[in-house]
Every structure is written in C-alpha cells, then in structure tokens.
Chains A and B, each alone.
Chain A
Amino acid sequence: MPNRLTDALDFQAQALSLRSDRQRLIASNIANADTPGYVARDMNFADALRDATGGGAAAGRMTTTSTGHLALNSGTDADSTLKYAAASQTNLDRNTVDMDRERASFADNALKYEATLRFINNSVKTMVSAITGQ
C-alpha cells in the first residue's frame, strides 16, 4: 500500500534527478565556451527518462538478449543517452559550444526543473490532505 502511495512521486523524482544532471551538463558547456577543442554535450531527455523509469529500451541502446551476454553496468547506462553537439558555425579552435543554444537550453531546463518540483510539491500536498482528511 505505501508503494502505491508514492509511485507517482517516484516518476517525478527520477525526472528531477535527470533534470539536475542535464543542468550540470549545460553548465559544463557554458563553462567551456572558450576552451579550444571542447565538444559540447547534451542529453536526449526523453530517452534518458524512459531508461531511468524502465519504460522499455530506447532506440539504438544495447540490451542483453542471451544469458551468455555480459551484463551492462549502470554506469555506462547513464552515458548512453549523452550526445555530442555539432558545431552550428565552424570555429577555428574546433569548439562546438553555441552560446545562444546553451543559454536557451539552460533556461528551458531550469524552468522544467521548477515545474517538476511543483508537481512533487502538489502531490505531497494532495497526500497530506488525504491523510489528515480536512
């Protein structure tokens, strides 16, 4: 019974953790905007969330289909949804950080992080009001 009470929270908690991972990735890109040779990275959020919540393997991901296969460890799992960004304009120092794109992604991700926080807050409020019955 307690499981069913917090099932809805689990999904949002996974989303929140992935959002903070993506926020860190974008912060790294912005920090390395002037580093020669740096290649920007980003996350395919939909795939990463599907992976994290066990909603079926994402396209192009490795799965074990036989008992003879080596098990995937969770460390490489998280990296499989990370992608490298292509340069939007060619750069002499081979840096592929597009500051406009990164700033937009950063703002977008911050907003969605807050939205997830609000979802969790409201679920908690709903549960508390159901428990207290007032």
Chain B
Amino acid sequence: MSMLKIFDVSGSAVSAQSQRLNVVASNLANVDTVAGPDGQAYKARQVTFQTQLMGASGAAGVTVSNISEDQTPGRRVHDPNHPQADADGYVTYSNVNAVEEMVNMISASRSYQNNIEVMNTAKSLLQKTLQLGQS
C-alpha cells in the first residue's frame, strides 16, 4: 500500500517545518537581546532543508540538514550608560531582522498547513479503501 508512505513523507515535512518555526520563535524572542550565553550578541539562526529519500521510488521526505548562524554584524546603538556598552559607548544588539522572521514564520505555517491537509486527504482515501466492497 504505497499510500501509507504519504504519512512518512508529510510527517517528515511537518516536523521539519515545526523545527523551522521553532528557530523563528527563538530569533523573534531574541530580537532585542544584547548578550547571548557566550557574552556575544545573539546571532539569528536559520534552518536548511534537504530532501530525504524514503525507499520506494518517488517518495521524498524532508529533513533539516543543519542550522546556520547569520554572521552579519549586529545593530549598534550609542548608549554609554548601558552596562554592556563598549569603550566607545556603543551597545551591540542581535542581528535579527524582525520583518524577515515574520515572513519566514508565515511561510512555515502555510507549508505546515499544506502538509497536514495532504495527510487528511490521504487518511480519508485510505478509509474509503478499507471499506471497499462492504456497502
């Protein structure tokens, strides 16, 4: 029954998208962070998707291959009274771009919904297949 593979394929996509959503959430939460756990300003993270073959011909799921950090310099604000200010009186904030993250979030949630709908359709088709020849 090749249709059962749809749950593996869409399931992997849903979990990849939820991981992406997780990363967006942590980026948005840290948009105003001055110092991360290493004492440096927080760096925005981004997931990279990769196709994962699932045995049967044509079945291709998704996996998160790695999570990379954005290396662009963070936003610098002049605030000499801030405890994290450097010698010149500048405070370095995280390099998260809130607009980019919001767009990323919408895209991730739409893809998530799409895959859930695919699974719902596959489920109802399989249920009808199970009732074949009964009624």
Tell me, yes or no, whether B87 is within 8 Å of chain A by CB.
no
Q: Does the CB pair A78–B57 fall under 8 Å?
A: yes
Binding site secondary structure of chain B:
helix
Q: Is A7 an interface residue (CB 8 A)?
A: no
CB-based A-B contact count at 8 angstroms: 94
A52 interfacial contact with B, CB 8 Å: no
**A20 within 8 A of partner (CB):** yes
Contact B114 A20 (CB under 8 A): no
A31-B13 in contact (CB<8A)? yes
Q: Is the CB of A24 within 8 A of B132?
A: no
In angstroms, Cα B57 to Cα A75, docked, is 9
Q: Please state if B121 and A20 are interface contacts (CB–CB under 8 Å).
A: no
Which residues of the other chain, A, contact B9 by a CB distance below 8 angstroms? 24, 27-28, 31
Q: How long is the Cα–Cα vector from A117 to B13 in the complex, in angstroms?
A: 28
User: In whole Å, how far is A75's beta carbon from the nearest beta carbon of chain B?
Assistant: 8
Q: Which one, B51, B122, B133, contacts A23 given CB within 8 A?
A: B122
B125 sits at the interface (CB 8 A): yes
Q: List the A side residues contacting B60 at CB < 8 Å.
A: 28, 31-32, 38
CA distance A38 to B52 in the complex (A): 11
Q: Give 1 or 0 for each of B9-33: 1 = CB within 8 Å of chain A CB.
A: 1101100010010000000000000
Residues of chain A touching chain B, judged by Cβ–Cβ distance below 8 Å, are 16-17, 20-21, 23-25, 27-28, 30-38, 41, 43, 75, 78-79, 82, 99, 103, 106, 110, 113-114, 117, 120-121, 124
